[in-house]
Amino acid sequence: KAERKPADELRPEYKRSDFATLVRGKYAHRAVEASNVVVLEPQMARAFPNDRAVNAALRGVLRARKRGARPATRTIRTRRERRAR
């Protein structure tokens, strides 16, 4: 048979009056700000089934951003083409 816990779980040397009034959720905003959990839409979740797939795709996006947008190559016309016009 399991032992019963006493109704008052505080040790005898502690009293509730020794503690300040507790505030519920005092630091909740910090936890939310520090959180890095992202919820994907169902369609995205099917395309990226796990964290590895998401991270690989995001790394590719970052690499592309670092390289920058490459300018479109311009075709150079020859003298003959210019004369023909």
Burial class (CB in 10 A: 0-12, 13-18, 19+), 54: middle
3-state helix, strand, coil in the chain (%, to 5): 45, 0, 55
pLDDT higher than threshold 80 for residue 2: no
CB distance 40 to 48 below 8 Å: yes
pLDDT tens per residue, range 7-66 = 667 777 887 777 778 788 888 888 888 888 888 999 999 999 999 999 999 999 999 998
| Whole-number pLDDT of residue 1 | 61
CB distance 72 to 66 below 8 Å: no
pLDDT tier, 76 (very low <50, low <70, confident <90, very high otherwise): confident
| pTM of the full structure | 0.42
